[in-house]
Amino acid sequence: MLRKADAAAGANDAPQAPDDEGTPVSVKIRERILAARQRFHANDNIAEFIQPGELEALLDEVEHKMRGVLDSLVIDTENDHNTANTARRVAKMYLQEVFRGRYVNAPGLTEFPNAERLNELMIVGPITVRSACSHHLCPIMGRLWIGVMPNEHTNVIGLSKYARLAEWVMGRPQIQEEAVVQLADLIQEKTQPDGLALVMEAEHFCMQWRGVKETDSKMINSVMRGVFLKDPSLRREFLSLLPRRKD
Ligand SMILES: [Zn+2]
């Protein structure tokens, strides 16, 4: 059998390993996701398909491809000291920081039964949200408020845990209106409240840095679930308790 490495001798600068080791790790992960018939859009989490050690290999792969992008932008990464390590930096930033929420499991939560039988409206926020749009990978920076109406069966989680859940969902290339729904679904599933309300207000840098260059536009999205949908006075109470947003 003619090995690929022999056939393409000299044509490929990447070291060729035998068999399966020559397959890019992204391809292996993608094949597992396809076999499980799962979705892998930009704002989906794919942690369950990544095996130990593969994130490191993925980092090398993204660095290699990122270097190709810089080459195609005709940037002399060999002689320009500013961009010599940019490919590695960007790969790390994507995989370990700004898009980490795609590649790691959900933060562990300690849930407590609602022993105090809390049944008053609780508001958490503002929580700072940081993300990037799926369309341009430009930053999205904003704030989030969460209203929870517990019942006696609701699992109570610590206030900081809401921020960790938000960070996990926002740490992916996102679309704001999809992000608030993903986060609402997650909080609903983890805590089972009677009602849940989310308001997210964010600036989209793809509107400021490029495109229409509108520097002062914010996008506001809300999701209302359970009693917040049925009870207009509760909804009004929640919205009135949010700090007045600057116009
Ligand atoms: Zn955009």
> What pLDDT, in 10s, does the model give residues 143-200?
999 999 998 888 888 888 999 999 999 999 999 999 999 999 999 999 899 999 999 9
User: Which ranges of the chain have pLDDT less than 50?
Assistant: 1-12, 16-17, 247
Q: Is 216 helix (H, G, I), strand (E, B) or coil?
A: coil
Cα torsion for 154, 159, 160, 161, to the nearest 10°? Answer: 10
Distance 85 CA to ligand 1 centre (A): 26
Distance 179 CA to ligand 1 centre (A): 14
Helix axes 54-72, 25-35, angle to 10 degrees: 120
Distance CA 152, CA 161 (A): 20
Distance 43 CA to ligand 1 centre (A): 14
Distance 74 CA to ligand 1 centre (A): 24
Q: Which of 51, 58, 47, 52 is nearest to 108 (CA)?
A: 47
Which residues are 195's β-sheet partners? 149, 226
Helix axes 159-170, 176-191, angle to 10 degrees: 140
